[in-house]
Structure 1
């Protein structure tokens, strides 16, 4: 009992610790989690998952993978297929069989595997894996269409790869029992089982979509009921056919995501947290379960196989599947390179390695070590080069952190102008075409629509924006916007203006519900509008080794207020009533000052050509 508790605690520390290090360094999180598990298991011998959990390890991993696929399915909106649908369907209907065929040849002729093992392993290799693709896309900046193709391919092909392995295994098992068996006797039952499993997943999604909005499930039970249903659907479908449960939970997630169940929005933060915990735990457990004997099978032929997988199998699969499609060549080449493998490959390979050994295929034992080698090779190769390749092929998205401003007012338009001058991507969103007139006249990027409308997520690419400022005339609405986007952007990066002095005592909105308050003084909407009408301006001051923050404060008029600083790389840090960023040389300070500050500032210290910029907008 104590051993299991200790292992669970260590897995949590290692997995989440690796995720944190990845966040701080920008390295691929999966590589760090694999390294952490390998060091804790085979290298240092801190724990052995198989000894700690025994026969429970396999079902634990299987259920974890099922929940990850369900969570990934919930992120797929069919409206994305308007832009990426042609490529996605080609990669499913053409890419899977082509990749399976090429992988089989590579496994037999290059890796030296016997045909049954090569064919089964190639079936699993058609997967890419949302557990690695989605974190990779989050850490990098790729244009929306190729990112959508990679995301859809990863989630849709995961269960398909598992079914390919099942079909291959069932065929060779049948041949071992009755040598005259044919593929026709195996494939149709597998397809029927997949459709039945998909039907079970769809029915479960319909039940959730029907029952949740009608109040049949209380709010505090919605997450437990949903998770229990996912596990039940997975287990029930697996009773029909091995690994059919992966199809069921994927269909359930995709169906539920496209049924417009508004009550599901409240559980999104929880499901994302569950996915992070599961990905971290499973990767650490699997890599800690490795044995040196399983790696001893790897030789130079397997090294050539990995190179063939990276530079022949994947590129030929993608380029052949996308022939005569509308996908531009630079995007095809990008897709041809990016194909990291993850949890499903390792989990299914470990399962079938034992089964193939039972059928008398000695090469079956090689699959565990080889699957880990494929995961590490693809994650390292693609994870560390995704940004470079995207830049070289021209599919790189905006890398400089952007600012999303909700509400078109004279103050927000002036702020947007100032941020544009610093090369910060900016977007003004407002539901009023009339209020947006000033933004249109100023030539600022704008979006006409309701920011809280679900359609906005699909009509407006929000990925370039890491900071949100809600500054409409309605304080309660600003609070609602900040709460809605806090889970997507981060609670520490959603800001709103404080309450105006004349509103502070009237029906104050609790601080726990509000976004971070802009300005150390807590200026409200009325305060900034009043000062804007009096001619107040934004002023930018660049810091250096010779001209530090204290010098900048001396130039700031007594009535002026610090708003934010912009780092060299574009990162935005706001001065708020609760926190003050640490200014460094190279940062640019943005302040909000009275109009007379221009003359006063220049009188105190006239800016020369080699001195920091200290001019109002």
Structure 2
């Protein structure tokens, strides 16, 4: 492929274009609240085969293959880093069955679908069927991020995708070894020995690399600023060594290495994992752009109606049957089983490995081996588009998401936070209050407010709080350093723009001021814990007012000049805590949560209201709790 004028891009410009397209597609998808994978595929296809601006085979030549291989290895390693054994808990049995039973069963059913659906020969169908075990962590991760699934089905899908990826690659290697024996006359014993040696070496290298790094990091053998570089170099070395023994076994090695490090309880583990997450976002977008831009429409033209039957068979028969049989007797709710059964997107690993083995089969004289690459890309596009647009509504229909309404996680139990949670509950905003002091939650529990007794940063909280149900975090304990710690630690989970904390008591003093990179955003016009508690003691109460066409934000400000605006609830349900000097825009349907002294104006009595929700001061129960 060439561009409109046949001009090739220099490698530096090509890499810059890939980065801009990949990151730009993800940014646009975030803005439009749509699946990022779809935009990345579209951007790659438009830049490549449609307009001819970028052709990987022309512009970066021999770099394309190694780049994709290394990127896939890093992606799988990062996936292994997320697989802490503690995250399994009640999903462990399901994951084990999806791997032990689901992988071979999926191989068999995929092979049958390829043979009788796509019409491939048994040789090509068996090799490609092994590759189809994979479900694509490169696709699952962004889908789970946007769908906000409940913990257990999300853990099942994530573990299955990451663990089965190297298994699928090795299954393809095994099937190819069998085909090679039949085609070339090589001995079965030699092929089996080569395969066993490769798997053994990959497992040993992965485990050695993981335990070695964990030991070095824990004992201070590597300085903090060198940990990420050492991690990268070790990862690439182990991948290359393992692949030199048995092709594609490097994927198994780096996955094992990631899992070992994830379960080593390293002090700097979170920093390593988050850095790897950022790198993976760039790599996933880059690989998708490369694969889509390198697509050859003439290869896809070789597919006929049988390819459609094959895709439908995989989505509607192979995947559901594999999951349902694997999860028999696990005790998982049927809603979770159906969600997992009907969610099986394929991604980068499938296309990359399928293309490689398609070329190898063709070299052995198996003609339909050339169809494996186009079939793989067709399956990836179909499943990515299907699940990208249906996973969130389907999970919501099954009741397996964090809920349609954005919730608020309130860290710290006090008279002020209890009154705040009460008005939120009356406004139908999901709210959860946490505190390690049991007594601080007593009043909230008596008012029917959801509570969690324990430290929000503890492992118990990670396993028992569905963080996906809450879009905003507010730290309001009487301990300013702890508020800062909570806001800093959980900012990556919620997004820094959605994390708030009370203004620190000594914020104005230079020697006590903290860097802007620590903590959350201030709110409540810069009020401190002591000031807010003092307002409650002085009789200030929470109220809720809805703005209308007749009662605007300016009218509310004129009537309630002394009120303290704490929260703005948009008609969509989105929450915003105004900070000092924040510019607000009112609008019909916007609701204001604020504090006002006793005897202050009603704040919108002239506007239509819903009894019990609009223009409502905190009720007697809330005032009793505050007292």
TM (normalized to structure 2)?
0.93
Q: Does 1:123 align with 2:126?
A: no
Deviations 1:488-515 (A, max 9, x none): 2211111111134x77448432251231
CA contact (8 A) 2:150 2:468 kept: no
Match of 2:327 in 1: 322
> Counterparts of 1:601 and 1:143 in 2: how far apart (Å)?
41
Q: Work out the number of aligned pairs and report it.
A: 609
> Do the aligned partners of residues 194 and 456 (structure 1) sit closer, same or farther apart at CA in structure 2, a change above 3 Å counting?
farther
Whole-Å separation in 2 of the counterparts to 1:393 and 1:404: 24
Please report the RMSD computed on the Cα atoms of aligned residues, expressed in angstroms.
Answer: 2.0
Deviations 1:388-424 (A, max 9, x none): 3223334343232121111111111111111112222
Cα distance change on mapping 1:391 and 1:492 into 2, 3 Å: closer
Q: Secondary structure at the match of 2:437?
A: coil
Query: Matched residues in 2 for 1:414 and 1:335: separation?
Result: 40
With over 3 angstroms needed to count, the CA separation of the structure-2 counterparts of 1:503 and 1:279, relative to structure 1, is closer
1:249 to 233, 254, 265: 254
1:48 deviates by 0.8
1:534 to 538, 553, 568: 538
Aligned equivalent of 1:296: 301
> How far 1:609 sits from its partner (Å)?
5.0
SS of the residue corresponding to residue 456 of structure 2 reads: coil
Contact 2:502 2:522 in 1 (8 A): yes
Give the deviation of 1:455 after TM superposition.
Answer: 4.1
1:45-93 alpha-carbon deviations (Å, 9 max, x no partner) = 0111111221221111011011111111111121232211111111111
Q: Which residue of 1 aligns with 2:443?
A: 438
CA deviation profile, 1:305-354 (whole Å, cap 9, x unmatched): 11111111111111122223312222222211100000000110111121
Contact 1:476 1:509 (8 Å CA) reproduced: no
Change (3 A) 1:567 1:177: same
Aligned counterpart, 1:157: 164
Cα pair distance change 1:387/1:109, threshold 3 Å: same
- Please list the CA deviations of residues 412-448 of structure 1 after superposition, one character each: whole Å capped at 9, or x if unmatched: 1111111112222211111112222222222221112
1:420 to 420, 425, 437: 425
Aligned position for 1:613: 614
In 2: Cα distance, 1:493 partner to 1:397 partner = 16
Partner residue, 1:266: 271
Please say if residues 548 and 607 of structure 2, whose CA atoms lie closer than 8 Å, have aligned partners that are also in contact. no
Q: Which structure 2 residue ranges, 5 or more long, are not aligned? A: 1-7, 619-627
2:5 aligns to what?
Answer: none
Aligned residue number for residue 223 of structure 2: 218
TM-score by length of 1: 0.95
In structure 2, distance between residues paired with 1:503 and 1:302 = 64
2:9 and 2:54 in contact (8 A); partners too: no
Per the TM alignment, residue 187 of structure 1 is displaced from its structure 2 partner at its CA by 4.6
1:460 is displaced (CA, Å) by 2.6
Deviation at 1:208, TM superposition (A): 1.7
The 2-side partners of 1:187 and 1:560 are apart by: 77
Aligned residue number for residue 120 of structure 2:
113
Corresponding position: 1:363 with 2:368: yes
Q: How does 1:154-553 map to 2 (within 5 A)?
A: 154-178=161-185, 181-182=187-188, 186-187=191-192, 189-500=194-505, 504-505=508-509, 507-510=511-514, 512=516, 513-519=518-524, 521-553=525-557
Give, in whole Å, the separation in 2 of the partners of 1:539 and 1:100.
60
Q: SS where residue 405 of structure 1 aligns?
A: strand
Q: 2:104 aligns with which of 80, 88, 97?
A: 97
2: CA distance between counterparts of 1:503 and 1:145? 41
Q: Is the 8 A contact 1:73 1:253 kept in 2?
A: yes
User: Are the aligned partners of 1:108 and 1:118 in contact in 2 as well (CA < 8 Å)?
Assistant: yes
2:14 is matched with: 7
Unaligned runs of 5+ in 1: none
CA contact (8 A) 2:550 2:607 kept: no
Q: 1:469 is paired with a residue of what secondary structure?
A: strand
How many angstroms does 1:605 deviate by?
A: 4.1
581-590 or 201-210, larger mean C-alpha shift: 581-590
Cα separation, 2, equivalents of 1:142 and 1:387: 8
Tell me, in whole angstroms, the C-alpha distance in 1 between the residues paired with 2:56 and 2:67: 11
Structure 1 SS opposite 2:432: strand
- Indicate the residue corresponding to 2:38 in structure 1: 31
Equivalent-residue separation in structure 1 for 2:609 and 2:242 (angstroms): 72
Query: How far 1:186 sits from its partner (Å)?
Result: 3.8
Residues 510 and 330 of structure 1, relative CA distance in 2, 3 Å threshold: closer
Structure 2 SS opposite 1:408: coil
Identify which of 586, 590, 598 aligns with 1:587. Answer: 590
Q: Please give the alpha-carbon distance, in whole angstroms, between the structure 2 residues aligned to 1:322 and 1:169.
A: 29
**Does structure 1 retain, via aligned residues, the 8 Å contact 2:401–2:468?**
no
Task: For residues 178-204 of structure 1, give each alpha carbon's deviation from its aligned partner in whole angstroms, at most 9, with x where no partner exists.
Answer: 17x44x654564244223312211211
**Structure 2: distance between partners of 1:545 and 1:369:** 57
Task: Tell me, in whole angstroms, the C-alpha distance in 2 between the residues paired with 1:431 and 1:16.
Answer: 40
How far is the alpha carbon of 1:362 from its aligned partner? 1.4
Please say which of residues 502-511 and 28-37 is displaced more in the overlay.
Answer: 502-511
